[in-house]
């Protein structure tokens, strides 16, 4: 999650789930790969059938198709020329330059230690088309839950989705000129199981029984019995494919930190890098897939450059000076007050608010539910009451945000009021697992506060009463202790590059918490240390969150379920609730879209009742500023910003700026 006061750079995975990164080219692809299980498993997807015939293996039908979805039809036919939102005549050329925070120390995006370089997803591809920056965003960007073949020209699977065969494109090539084969796909799949993070390997092994190369260009995956297989085809189709020959020749390991990237088949190759300073990618002049319908109008820049800066202040000054040319703004303060420099006034730099149709991530101040002191919901509720969204938004964020309440905010799956209809039937069927309050009271909403002062006296009084009830009374020194004399303390780390934006908000929040008699420790730390502490759950609270809840799937267990609650990086609160587990299981057994939607509303209601975080803010627009050398489609697709995907370089505009002495 992006630790900032504004919106993070959003991408939408094939499940309609949001992935956020601290820069448009965030190279941390482990999050993306792990999200494949979650993302595909959350899909509201549709079953696309091009042709069907009798299947001797299963007694059912074999579906053969050029793309994949789960419920309904694909938006694009087999002979589509290009995606509707791209400019098929977009010129190729020029350079896109962006900024990245902090530093990097590895060019292996899947290393278990270290900070990977930005933009590494540009070099790799999967069987199904993906966003170039990570493995968490689907293509196309104008439809939920649809995938189209990239390395695979088609796929076939039985009606029960117990297996899938991908028919690969024989012309596919790695950047070293060697063919991409089914053997590389199987090798890559097994590599992630053998050397990947444990939570990923454990989840996939339970669900994918076998991966086998039927010949050089046909690969088959067989799946385990499960209440829902809706995530399986998406998952295996989205794993990046590496060169088996390169790994065998170099002896490299997937989990090691190194400054030599693995060979990929993507549109870009590594050109140059200086650790901590920049990374530059160049278009592969021999890219095998340039003319595929899924690629027409995409990958339009000859070069992509990421410049690194230690903090946002330096980063912004560099943008003003033209050291990099595109900025997706994440600070509401800067967006409201800082874009008055000469290049903007002269029209050299353009500002746009582009619509973002993606449901917002469930971001906020997350509690570590593994801490004994935070297991009492009254303590969590008291800490939440100390946060004043209204004051924060008006005083620190220029009134540019909306308050988030739901894990399915602004979607039809958002739980509202009392449960009714199919949702009520589901909750009632779970018996004593469901608290009476969930049936008799409206869905939990974020509290409201007075905007005039930081401390809302009414909320603070309620918070103090809750802490007293929870066994943390105030002593004569003004500090809260339990019956054993232990101080009530709260540790809140954030990555140092975020301190300039998020820091002020947290400091004011901690100031209110201090007034409750709680001893707080707000810690800006370097990115590597923050990453390690997050992985090891070494925090009481942090700014993080969950992907937006958009549909049912086995990935829900990884994100909200008990099975991986102790270690899953996608469950930062460590939610482990029998009620939540039961609703997830029920959602996987649904037999209609209406039943699934009701189960998602019930899950949203239950998660809000469990209270794993303090809800904060969200933005429904992309804030972008860029030197006037770029262009984008007139109609922005709803689910991606697409800076490196479908924007392009305008040579005439660039020449005009240079002639004016602007660059």
- Domains of the chain, CATH where assigned: 9-306+620-631 (3.40.190.10), 362-618 (3.10.105.10)
The rounded percent of the chain whose pLDDT value lies above 90 is: 73
Above 60 in pLDDT, residue 56?
Answer: no
Contact assessment for residue 99 and residue 327, using Cβ atoms and an 8 Å cutoff: yes
> What is the per-residue DSSP string for 275-307?
TTTEEEEEE-TT-TTTTSTTTTT----SEEEEE
Tokens representing 346 are 């002269």
pLDDT tens digits for 477-513? 999 999 999 999 999 999 988 887 899 999 999 999 9
Residue 132: predicted pLDDT: 65
Contact assessment for residue 325 and residue 627, using Cβ atoms and an 8 Å cutoff: yes
pTM: 0.79
Q: Are strands 362-367 and 541-546 parallel, antiparallel or unpaired?
A: antiparallel
Read off the pLDDT band of 55 (50, 70, 90): very low
- Over range 106-113, report the average pLDDT: 92
- Over range 328-351, report the average pLDDT: 95
Residue 40: predicted pLDDT: 41
Read off the pLDDT band of 550 (50, 70, 90): confident
- Over range 462-475, report the average pLDDT: 98
Read off the pLDDT band of 19 (50, 70, 90): very low
* Between 357 and 494, residue with greater pLDDT: 494
Contact assessment for residue 17 and residue 548, using Cβ atoms and an 8 Å cutoff: yes
- Over range 179-207, report the average pLDDT: 92
pLDDT tens digits for 556-576? 888 999 988 998 888 999 999
Dihedral sign for Cα 555, 559, 560, 561, please.
Answer: positive
Tokens representing 659 are 């002639």
State how far the alpha carbon of 17 is from the alpha carbons of 197, 362, 408, 636, in Å. 21, 10, 10, 19
The lowest-confidence range among 51-55, 446-450, 501-505, 637-641 is: 51-55
* Between 175 and 130, residue with greater pLDDT: 175
Read off the pLDDT band of 21 (50, 70, 90): very low
Residue 23: predicted pLDDT: 34
- Over range 229-251, report the average pLDDT: 91
Contact assessment for residue 156 and residue 67, using Cβ atoms and an 8 Å cutoff: no
State how far the alpha carbon of 223 is from the alpha carbons of 39, 62, 132, 172, 207, in Å. 17, 15, 27, 26, 6
Read off the pLDDT band of 181 (50, 70, 90): very high
Cβ density class 179-192: b for 16+ within 10 Å, e for less: bbbbbbbbbbbebb
Residue 133: predicted pLDDT: 65
The backbone torsions φ and ψ at residue 514, rounded to the nearest 5 degrees and listed phi first, read -55, -40
333 contacts: CB under 8 Å, gap ≥ 6: 5, 396, 397, 398, 501
pLDDT tens digits for 75-88? 999 999 999 999 99
Q: What angle do CA 113, 563, 3 make, to 5 degrees?
A: 45
Beta bridge partners of 617: 403
Tokens representing 533 are 């502490």
- Measured between its terminal Cα atoms, the distance across the chain in Å is 33
CA distance 203 to 554: 9
Share the mean pLDDT of the chain: 89
Tokens representing 152 are 């695979």
Above 60 in pLDDT, residue 67?
Answer: yes
The backbone torsions φ and ψ at residue 45, rounded to the nearest 5 degrees and listed phi first, read -110, 175
211: number of CA atoms within 13 Å, CB side?
A: 23
The rounded radius of gyration (Å) of the Cα atoms in the chain is 25
Residue 639: predicted pLDDT: 85
CB atoms under 10 Å from CB of 437, counted, come to 10
Dihedral sign for Cα 146, 149, 150, 155, please.
Answer: positive
The rounded percent of the chain whose pLDDT value lies above 70 is: 89
Contact assessment for residue 398 and residue 332, using Cβ atoms and an 8 Å cutoff: yes
Q: What angle do CA 185, 187, 192 make, to 5 degrees?
A: 100
Dihedral sign for Cα 397, 402, 406, 410, please.
Answer: negative
Is the preceding peptide bond at 140 cis, omega within 30 degrees of 0?
A: yes
Q: What angle do CA 269, 273, 274 make, to 5 degrees?
A: 170
Give me the sheet containing 51-54, strands edge to edge.
51-54, 61-65, 152-158, 163-168, 218-223, 208-215
- Over range 525-542, report the average pLDDT: 93
């Amino acid at each position: 999650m992006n630790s900032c006061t504004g919106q993070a750079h959003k991408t939408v995975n094939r499940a309609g789930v949001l992935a956020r990164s601290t820069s448009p080219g965030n190279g941390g692809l482990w999050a993306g790969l792990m999200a494949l299980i979650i993302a595909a498993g959350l899909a509201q997807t549709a079953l696309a059938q091009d042709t069907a015939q009798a299947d001797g293996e299963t007694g059912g039908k074999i579906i053969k198709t050029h793309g994949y979805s789960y419920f309904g039809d694909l938006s694009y036919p087999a002979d589509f020329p290009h995606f509707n939102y791209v400019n098929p005549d977009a010129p190729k050329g020029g350079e896109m330059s962006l900024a990245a925070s902090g530093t990097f120390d590895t060019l292996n995006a899947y290393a278990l230690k270290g900070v990977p370089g930005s933009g590494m997803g540009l070099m790799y591809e999967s069987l199904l088309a993906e966003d170039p920056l990570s493995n968490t965003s689907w293509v196309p960007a104008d439809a939920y839950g649809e995938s189209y073949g990239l390395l695979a020209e088609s796929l076939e699977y039985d009606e029960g989705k117990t297996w899938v065969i991908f028919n690969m494109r024989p012309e596919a090539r790695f950047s070293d000129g060697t063919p991409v084969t089914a053997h590389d796909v199987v090798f890559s799949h097994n590599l992630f199981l053998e050397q990947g993070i444990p939570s990923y390997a454990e989840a996939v092994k339970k669900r994918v029984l076998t991966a086998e190369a039927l010949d050089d260009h046909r690969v088959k995956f067989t799946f385990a019995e499960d209440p829902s297989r809706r995530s399986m085809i998406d998952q295996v189709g989205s794993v990046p494919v590496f060169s088996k020959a390169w790994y065998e020749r170099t002896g490299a390991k997937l989990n090691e930190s190194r400054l030599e990237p693995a060979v990929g088949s993507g549109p870009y190759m590594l050109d140059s890098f200086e650790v901590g300073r920049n990374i530059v990618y160049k278009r592969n002049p021999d890219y095998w897939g340039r003319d595929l319908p899924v690629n027409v109008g995409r990958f339009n820049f000859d070069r992509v450059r990421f410049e690194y800066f230690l903090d946002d202040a330096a980063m912004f000054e560099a943008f003003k000076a033209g050291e990099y040319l595109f900025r997706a703004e994440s600070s509401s303060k800067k967006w409201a007050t800082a874009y008055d420099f000469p290049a903007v006034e002269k029209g050299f730099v353009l500002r746009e608010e582009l619509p973002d149709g993606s449901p917002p991530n469930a971001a906020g101040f997350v509690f570590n539910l593994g801490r004994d002191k935070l297991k009492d919901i009254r303590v969590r509720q008291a800490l939440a009451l100390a946060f004043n969204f209204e004051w924060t938004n008006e005083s620190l964020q220029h009134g540019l945000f909306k308050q988030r309440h739901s894990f399915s905010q602004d979607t039809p799956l958002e739980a509202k009021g009392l449960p009714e209809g199919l949702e009520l039937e589901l909750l009632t069927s779970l018996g004593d697992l469901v608290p009476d309050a969930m049936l008799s009271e409206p869905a939990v909403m974020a509290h409201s506060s007075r905007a005039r002062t930081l401390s809302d006296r009414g909320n603070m009084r309620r918070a103090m009463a809750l802490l007293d009830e929870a066994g943390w009374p105030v002593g004569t020194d003004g500090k809260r202790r339990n019956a054993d004399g232990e101080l009530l303390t709260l540790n809140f780390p954030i990555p140092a590059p975020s301190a300039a934006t998020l820091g002020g908000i947290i400091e004011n929040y901690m100031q209110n918490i201090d007034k409750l008699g709680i001893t707080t420790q707000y810690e800006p730390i370097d990115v590597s240390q923050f990453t390690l502490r997050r992985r090891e759950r070494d925090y009481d609270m942090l700014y993080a969150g969950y992907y937006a809840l958009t549909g049912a799937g086995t990935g829900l267990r990884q994100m909200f379920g008990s099975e991986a609650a102790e270690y899953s990086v996608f469950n930062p609160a460590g939610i482990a609730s029998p009620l939540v587990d039961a609703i997830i299981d029920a959602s996987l057994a649904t037999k209609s879209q209406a039943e699934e939607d009701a189960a998602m509303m019930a899950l949203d209601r239950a998660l809000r009742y469990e209270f794993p975080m303090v809800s904060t803010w969200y933005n429904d627009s992309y804030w972008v500023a860029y030197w006037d050398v770029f262009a984008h489609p007139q109609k922005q697709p709803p689910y991606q910003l697409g800076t490196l995907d479908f924007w392009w370089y305008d040579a005439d505009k660039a020449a005009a700026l240079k002639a004016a002495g602007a660059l």
